[in-house]
């Protein structure tokens, strides 16, 4: 947060008091389909994924989050309706939790937090637009290379079948691409 907005020691203390943290074991869920999302989650340690289960029973990953990234189901959080998504730890993780119920009071005390969160949401929306653009303009192989080149930290930590799901193809397709590149 300090990279985007300035907070003095008192403001940092206010923010810290308004957050809680949770440790997650590998494969533990923060959110399951049908639950109402009640918070924004900031990854302090580890790696998480957000996914849904398609009609054919296949998991479709729509987002990953590693250290210093936020993850949440914005629609469920904002509208307080049941989520269509799962948020799960890919590896042991720790998250800071910004509860929806505490947010208005925190933003009233810390206007910089409101500004910061607006920028985070704008960046998340821009990333979603970019992903849609790439899906519609690049071949599968080009999308894989783009992801590999721009997010090497994910390639090292996330199983190949999950990367394939995120990019919209099968693990076998990823294997073929990797074989051709060697």
| Angle at alpha carbon of residue 139, lines to 54 and 162, rounded to 5° | 40
Write down the pLDDT at residue 37: 98
pLDDT digits (tens, 9 = 90+) for 86-138: 999 999 999 999 999 999 999 999 989 998 999 999 999 999 999 999 999 99
Write down the pLDDT at residue 178: 77
CATH class of 19-101: mainly beta
Q: What six digits make up the tokens of 61?
A: 């990953």
Q: What six digits make up the tokens of 1?
A: 């947060």
As averages over each run of 10 residues, the pLDDT of the chain (182 residues) reads: 81 91 98 98 97 96 94 96 98 97 93 91 93 93 92 88 92 84 60
- Whether the model clears a pTM of 0.85, i.e. scores above it, the answer is yes
Domain borders along the chain are 19-101
Write down the pLDDT at residue 56: 94
Q: Cα(91)–Cα(82) distance, rounded to whole angstroms? A: 25
CA 45 to chain centre: 13
Write down the pLDDT at residue 103: 93
């Amino acid at each position: 947060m300090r990279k985007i907005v300035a907070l003095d020691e008192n403001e940092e203390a206010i923010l810290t008091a308004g957050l809680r943290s949770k440790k997650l074991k590998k494969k533990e869920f923060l959110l399951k389909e049908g639950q109402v999302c009640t918070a924004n989650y900031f990854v302090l340690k580890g790696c998480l994924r957000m996914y849904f289960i398609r009609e054919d029973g296949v998991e479709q990953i729509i987002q990953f989050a590693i250290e210093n990234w936020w993850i949440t189901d914005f629609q469920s959080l904002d509208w307080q309706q049941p989520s269509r998504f799962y948020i799960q730890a890919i590896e042991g993780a720790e998250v800071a939790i910004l509860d929806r119920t505490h947010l208005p009071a925190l933003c009233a005390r810390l206007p910089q937090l409101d500004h910061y969160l607006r920028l985070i949401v704008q960046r998340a929306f821009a990333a979603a637009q970019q992903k849609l653009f790439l899906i519609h303009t690049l071949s599968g192989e080009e999308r894989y290379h783009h992801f590999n080149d721009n997010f090497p930290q994910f390639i090292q930590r996330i199983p190949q079948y999950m990367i394939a799901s995120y990019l919209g193809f099968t693990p076998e397709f990823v294997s073929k691409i990797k074989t051709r590149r060697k």
